[in-house]
Amino acid sequence: MKCILLVAGFATRLYPLTLHTPKPLLPVGGKTILDRLMEKLEEIPSLEEVILVSNGRFFSHFVQWATTCASTLRVIVLNDGAMDNDQRLGAVADLEFAVREKNIREDTLVLAGDNLFDFSLKAFVDFFHAKRADCITTHPVEDPEHLKRTGVILVNSDGKVVEFEEKPKHPKGTLAVPPIYLYRQDTLPLLTSYLKEGNNPDAPGNFIPWLLQRKEVYAYFFQGKRYDIGTPESLEEARRVYAAHSQGIDREVKTG
């Protein structure tokens, strides 16, 4: 199994913080977002390689990070060539670029480099193997404004996804879908077909409704918190929570 980490955004909503530092390398609770994601990835025994898709502007930042990364996983950094937000390829196009550039023919986990979460990726992988189908993650969200900024799904009694809408103006349900997906190896070539048809190359969730017309997709219901770090407010919330968690661990170590 491989993992593709999408880190090619320019995070303009976080300016000036992200003018000279890519969002995944911002610190949250004493570690970068990216380092925290790598810790989650290390939970997966079958994972062999993590491929970061960067833009051209921050490519050297991620290469430098990779040389000092403490993870035992092999890390490769790709450059999609975009130098500013107007040139960005889009998340689906970046995903297809990585699959094509590295000739990936294994089952692949896809993550966005700006989401933190506390559920187990190993449990998600186990679910994926049990279903033998493409899988996405989901959790209930009651806030309608939040639902308008994410993917929203409807599922049947077996957990099979029957409808997916990316950033709906009028959400039909309350099941939100973060950008955490598992694609079977035979699904990856469909990314090229999707793009050749002229479909939206941007948000990664745009691929899912198209895929639903061709293959079964199942939803993994996770427990726990998830932080989508897209605004100064969401960044500060994540920093507050992870800092409190880190302090709690330090206190346990000192008194243990």
Give residue-wise pLDDT tens across range 46-95.
998 999 999 999 999 999 999 999 898 999 999 999 999 999 999 999 99
Side-chain-side CA neighbours of residue 255 (13 Å)? 6
Question: In terms of pLDDT, which residue wins out, 32 or 251?
Answer: 32
Q: Is the dihedral of CA 17, 18, 23, 25 positive or negative?
A: negative
CA of 59: how far to CAs of 10, 147, 156, in Å?
12, 32, 42
CATH number for the region 2-255 comes to: 3.90.550.10
- What is the length of the chain? 256
C-beta separation of 211 from 181 below 8 A: no
> Which pTM does this prediction carry?
0.91
Rounded CA separation 69/75 (Å)? 9
- 210: three-class secondary structure by DSSP: helix
Domain boundaries defined on the chain: 2-255
What pLDDT is stored for residue 236 in this prediction?
94
pLDDT digits (tens, 9 = 90+) for 16-59: 999 999 999 999 999 999 999 999 999 999 998 999 999 999 99
Residues contacting residue 215 through CB under 8 Å, at least 6 positions apart: 133, 134, 187, 190
Distances (CA, A) of 68 to 21, 61, 62, 72, 128: 16, 11, 10, 11, 32
Tens-place pLDDT, residues 141-158? 888 888 888 889 999 999
| pLDDT band, very low/low/confident/very high, at 123 (cuts 50, 70, 90) | very high
Query: What would the mean pLDDT of 174-181 be, rounded to a whole number?
Result: 93
Q: Are strands 49-54 and 2-6 parallel, antiparallel or unpaired?
A: parallel
Angle at 164 between CA 161 and CA 166, to 5 degrees: 150
What average pLDDT does this structure show over 113-141?
A: 94
CB 3 within 8 A of CB 50: yes
Please give the pLDDT value at position 247.
59
**Rounded-to-integer distance, Cα 229 and Cα 220, Å:** 22
Q: Which residue has the tokens 């199994």?
A: 1
- pLDDT at position 245: 74
Q: State residue 244's pLDDT score.
A: 83
What pLDDT score was predicted for residue 239?
Answer: 94
Phi, psi for residue 213 in degrees, rounded to 5 = -75, -10
Which residue has 């969401």 as its token pair? Answer: 234
Tokens, residue 249: 């661990």
Alpha carbons 180 and 193: distance in angstroms, whole number = 21
User: Does 183 score more than 60 pLDDT?
Assistant: yes
Q: Which residue's structure tokens are 């692949």? A: 108
pLDDT in tens, 232-249: 999 999 999 998 876 554
Tokens 């995903």, residue located: 95
The reported pLDDT for the residue numbered 61 is: 97
Instruction: At 91, list the tokens.
Output: 């998340």
DSSP string covering 20-41, please?
A: SS-GGGSEETTEEHHHHHHHHH
pLDDT at 254 > cutoff 50:
no
Higher pLDDT, 116 or 249: 116
Give residue 63's pLDDT: 97
pLDDT confidence of residue 194: 97
Give the residue among 66, 83, 184, 70 at the shortest CA–CA distance from 131.
184
